[in-house]
Structure 1
């Protein structure tokens, strides 16, 4: 009893003392746009107190004795500032700060307990130093992530990460401004993620995390997730023109609709458009066309409320050469850039509307509401097996769908303080509904004649989620994050080929716990342990036949890593990781069949290094190794086809004060098994690219060089059983899409 009274007395004494302390409150904005900056690091010199700004650029430092303090503000790509602020007892001093753009200085990057859970230090450096030239470059911002195109540029890229052949997005969650990119129960494959509706010049940054450790990220978050943030405002209006080899042309324009007058009122609006055309490097002209139009508004609708409205539409149409077998090249039937079926190709479109509302209440609750809607159309003609099934007309197929997608993301969070400790509680709900119209797989000829419909039906899929997340800053060194999410799925499939038409339903739910620990030894070293469960849903056409059972396979992962700065201008992140996946059933969109897949495990090492060699020269390198294996299979028969074993990317970036900038980069993908017994090998490659720019106030001139050494390389590869026109027996071997040869492109950007 005496002990309890003593503890109560100490707590009350501490609270009373704390009640008479002062605080500093502030807001940080971008000087160029006058819009809030989220994620700015705010430190009190010599006090061990650090925080970061929220979505409205706001921060608060509490529990301060009356004195003068030095407040340090730092943000990658902006000039750091040190402010002197006087604090009085029981008073809150308010500070408004504008940060201006500046060259990246790695010496200013701080490893902090407050920044523990986002781990975006490396990414912030990359965004400022590497120019983004096309939609593919956006995905390559994630360290260790590789992509490959195998259908002429209009189809979503194949993705590789952490020992996964992710197909087109099955095990990575991709979003743009929080709006989902992945398509569930897609005509081509589960999780199909087409990012081509994003205009690269409008990308502000990329938030990402590898592994299933983030509570508010649900379906498809097994290998990781990435969210692409587009700009809320344009610094200047611009027009950009590009021209390159192989009849390649591109025009981009962005117009600031409100100008400085709008920014002074903390609002902005712009409209941008992109048109691309190319015949590409294939023997069969690609006749590729793409059109993008985007409009965005961002502003204060109340003193502590921001509204962001985005509307966009995208259309693309193309021919492609498809995958070609090694034997067709070796026999002289076609060239390295040739085609077996030159009638392949496709057309796709997507129209989006995205509304985001962020409110910070007087009690410092952060309330987020997001509503989104997409209308999506897809039609793809492919021929992977040539004349294996139909020796007369060939095996060309059509995959087609029309889709309406709508949903809601909402959350409320509150940060609490007690002495040097703080904790942030977040509660969230998410809702997503997909409705497809006549999702189709058919046997076709020459993209004009339908021979046989294999699958035809309507998908109605609902995913509702609830999550709770707690981020606890125990002290200025130790951070704990714990979370739990519940996902519920309801699936319905209407089979239009059944007689009579048949509608079947199923449902299931899954719990995903997360626990992440971070210990910051000092502003140079942070150790972390991430653990969690993730999942990817299976196609509705799998779920319904299985009665909703075993169709939400869990993925259990852990990362043990360290972020450290051995020198002021070097930043390193290294992690050992492990991921175990449950039994699942896979719908093969190219064949319309269900294939069971057993348990699997993956383990590996990731290393990322960033080094500022001089004031203007930067080096970076990412290395990833993985050992992916099927569980329960005989040794030597347990390889996971096409899973990457070793990858490395890196390069040099130059940013000079006279406007000259550039980069020299490489990417390396090692040999990997193409089938379960490794008897067929997908050959690795090394490709080097270069970029040089010269920028002045009113214009920017650029030269992009892809595949500097003109290497002949296979961008995507598959072990496929196929039969050519005059063959009696089918052959299983590597089928591939060739990567780009040497390709030069000039660009001119005018600002006004």
Structure 2
């Protein structure tokens, strides 16, 4: 009896003490825009407690005994702050903090267990040190990712990552503010991802992860994914003018519509536009025109609710010189920058609407809702084989489509605490529906005459998904992430060439589990093991005639890596990885299409190093090696065409306090097989770029130089069977698009 009374007394005493505990509730804002800052690391000094700010810039510590605490706030590119907050019994102390921009100090970058699963230290540093200067630089912000342009700038770039020739996006998922960029069942190629509707000056950051390890990323996220975040607010209105060689001109303007009045009410709105023109360095003038217009509103519509509305429209038209064969250049038939079919070219446009609503309830549930819509048009004329199929009129083809894309992303998440442990549960739902009208592949001549329609039809493709994700911080060092998603696809194709037109259907579903482990030894070292299953969908026009076979081939991957700071001013990210694919895509040059093949595997090593040499000088290097092979093929006949085996990028970045800044960079790609037996080799290259800027309070002068050493190089290469006009027999060899020669541009930016 006495023991029972003592136990009851002990419990009552404990509950009484707990009832008198206090808490700290805070909000962190960007001092320049007064908008909330997400992802700020917040720590209680000497307490072993840390957290991150949510989408509304909020954080909270509960269960604190009455005392004075030191609250440390840090974020890449912002000046760290330490606050003293006195907590009283039964009280919640509210703190609002403004963080100001500052020069990047690698010594202040912390390897945090709180953000283990989404830690992007490398990218956060790069964004601050290497401002994006053109559309292509957006993609290069992902370490190890290479791009190649084979239509002079108007067509989406060819992408290379982790031993993949990703074509235009088949195995990498690209989004902008959560809105999909990849196009399913596209007229030119599966997963076609054209990012040129993004004005580069509006990019705030890039979230990315290599491999299929993130639960809320579905279709195409096998080699990896990247989400480009645009600015919610402009610090100042600006006008930028550029002029360069080869009749190259560009004008960009961004206007802050609300100014200080909007900042005072945590609102922002701006409109921005871009126009560019160039004839480029090809013998055949490109007459490239591009126009972009973007408007964005961001603000509090309720105390704990943010609304973001974005609208944009984009149009582009160009001529291009196409891929040319080695023999045509070697024989003197055309020059290195010449063209076999000078009538190639294209036109494309895209109009987007994107609405995002984020709410944090009084119970700390984070609810996200997103609706998006795109109207997309595409028309491309290409000639890969010249006179192989039609010796009289040539082999030019037209690929054309009109598309409407609708979608929704929604999720609800809640973070729970138990002592020093915490776990975050997220449930989500996603929906995407694509309708194309008269998706076409036709044989044409001179871009004006249609000789023969090969394919013509309407695509109706639906993708619905649900997912659940659990992020558990078991201790202040050990974090586990587990998740699963289920995707359902329904494909419908109406063949307009058949009389009468016929409609066929196919459907399938796929389950994708994920499991990731992170162990943070200290603020300088973290080890991680990622594993998961992903997939890419196949083209509706391929799977429907097959009765739905191989709609959703899976990909199984694993990464073992580390984030390491051996010295205060050095940051290293290294990983060994493996990826097995149920189905590979292979480029078929004589048809100008992508078609499915067999199983494959890839394994390799990634290394990224960032080092602050002095207060003003930074060095970086990324190295990626891969061994890509087809499975089930004879040794020596199992190479994956055009898959990169060794790439590296790096450079020096300078940030002077007197306003001067600049960078000197290199890109290296090693020789790689161009066909299955490696008898044809795509030659590697090294290219150097440079940039110099001088900034004052209200203006910025810039000089950028691509290919500083004027190297003659081949940017994209294919082993293609083709026949020139007077040839009796076809020849298979390298066909290429020449890379940029020395190309200098001057820019002037005025802020007001």
State the TM-score, normalized to the length of structure 2: 0.97
User: 1:89 Cα shift?
Assistant: 2.8
Distance change >3 Å, CA 7–CA 40, structure 1 → 2: farther
**Counterpart in the other structure of 1:176:** 176
Asked if 1:370 is matched to 2:370, the reply is yes
Cα shift readout 1:101-144 (whole Å, capped 9, x = no counterpart)? 10001111110110101121111000000021111000000000
The question of whether the paired residues in 1 share the 8 Å contact of 2:685 and 2:713 is answered with: yes
CA–CA separation in structure 2 for the residues paired with 1:587 and 1:276: 31
* Map of 1:359 onto structure 2: 359
Deviation at 1:11, TM superposition (A): 10
8 Å CA contact retained: 2:77, 2:102: yes
- Quote the Cα distance in structure 1 between the aligned partners of 2:644 and 2:10: 57
Name 1:525's counterpart in structure 2. Answer: 525
Q: 1:336 to 1:47 in 2, by over 3 A?
A: same
The answer as to whether partners of 1:207 and 1:228 remain within 8 angstroms in 2 is yes
Which residue does the alignment assign to 1:745? Answer: 745
Report deviation, 1:48: 1.7
Aligned residue for 2:668?
668
- SS of 1:126's equivalent in the other structure is helix
Please state how far the C-alpha of 1:63 moved relative to its aligned partner. Answer: 2.6
SS state at 1:252 partner: strand
Map of 1:3 onto structure 2: none
Flag structure 2 segments of 5+ consecutive residues without an equivalent. Answer: 1-5
Judging changes above 3 Å, is the alpha-carbon distance between structure 1 residues 491 and 13 closer, same or farther for their aligned structure 2 residues?
A: farther
Matched, 1:342 2:342: yes
How many Å separate the matches in 2 of 1:7 and 1:155?
74
Whether the 8 Å contact between 1:150 and 1:737 is mirrored in structure 2 is yes
The structural deviation recorded for 1:407 is 0.3
- Determine the structure 1 residue equivalent to 2:567: 567
User: What's 1:161 paired with?
Assistant: 161
Q: Deviations over 1:614-636 (max 9, x none)?
A: 11111111000000001111110
Q: What corresponds to 2:475 in structure 1?
A: 475
Q: Does the Cα contact within 8 Å between 2:387 and 2:725 map onto a contact in 1?
A: yes
> What is the aligned length?
747
Q: 1:650 to 1:10 in 2, by over 3 A?
A: farther
Describe the shift of the 1:169–1:212 C-alpha distance in structure 2 as closer, same or farther (beyond 3 A). Answer: same
Structure 2 partner of 1:89:
89
Structure 1 match to 2:544: 544
Cα distance between partner residues in 1 of 2:592 and 2:247: 37
Stretches of 4+ aligned residues off by more than 3 angstroms: 6-20, 583-596
2:3 corresponds in structure 1 to none
Q: Could you give the per-residue CA deviations for residues 274-297 of structure 1, whole angstroms, max 9, x where no partner exists?
A: 000000000000000000000000
Return the alpha-carbon distance in structure 2 between the equivalents of residues 9 and 739 of structure 1.
Answer: 80
- Note the alpha carbon deviations across 1:62-110, whole angstroms, 9 max, x for none: 2322211111101111111000011123322111000011000111111
Q: Hey, what's the Cα distance between the residues in 2 that align with 1:394 and 1:594? A: 21
Residue 736 of structure 2: aligned partner: 736
Q: Distance in 1 between matches of 2:106 and 2:121?
A: 10
For the 8 Å contact 2:589–2:718, the answer to whether it is kept is no
How far off is 1:12 after superposition? 9.8
- Distance in 2 between the 1:310 and 1:9 partners? 59
Aligned equivalent of 2:273: 273
**Residue deviations 1:522-551 (CA, integer Å, cap 9, x gap):** 010000000000000000011201212222
Matched with 1:435 is 435
Q: In terms of mean alpha carbon deviation, does 543-552 or 496-505 score higher? A: 543-552
User: Cα offset for 1:31?
Assistant: 0.8
* Counterpart mapping for 1:494-505 below 5 A: 494-505=494-505
Q: Is the 8 A contact 1:538 1:585 kept in 2?
A: no
**Does residue 583 of structure 1 match 2:580?**
no
Distance 1:671 1:586, change over 3 A: closer
Query: 1:8 & 1:341 partners in 2: Cα distance?
Result: 90
Q: How does 1:581-620 map to 2 (within 5 A)?
A: 581-583=581-583, 591=591, 595-620=595-620
Contact kept? 1:254, 1:273, Cα under 8 Å: yes
Is the CA contact 1:551–1:585 (under 8 Å) kept in the aligned structure 2? no
Alignment gaps of 5+ in structure 1: 1-5
1:33-182 equivalences under 5 Å are 33-182=33-182
CA distance in 1, matches of 2:110, 2:456: 55
Specify the alignment match of 2:698 in structure 1. Answer: 698
Match of 1:453 in 2: 453
Tell me the SS of whatever aligns to 2:261.
helix
C-alpha distance in 2 between matches for 1:116 and 1:262: 35
Partner Cα distance (1:524, 1:592) in 2: 49
Shift of 1:591: 3.6
Query: Please, which moves more after superposition, 718-727 or 537-546?
Result: 537-546
Change (3 A) 1:720 1:16: farther
Does the 8 A contact of 2:425 with 2:469 survive in 1? yes
Structure 1 residue 499 displacement after superposition:
1.2
Corresponding residue number in structure 1 for 2:290: 290
Report the more deviating stretch, 475-484 or 544-553.
544-553
> Residues 735 and 18 from structure 1, CA distance in 2 versus in 1: closer, same or farther, beyond 3 angstroms?
farther
Kept in 1: contact 2:590–2:721 (CA 8 A): no
C-alpha contact (below 8 Å) 2:384/2:589 kept by paired residues? no
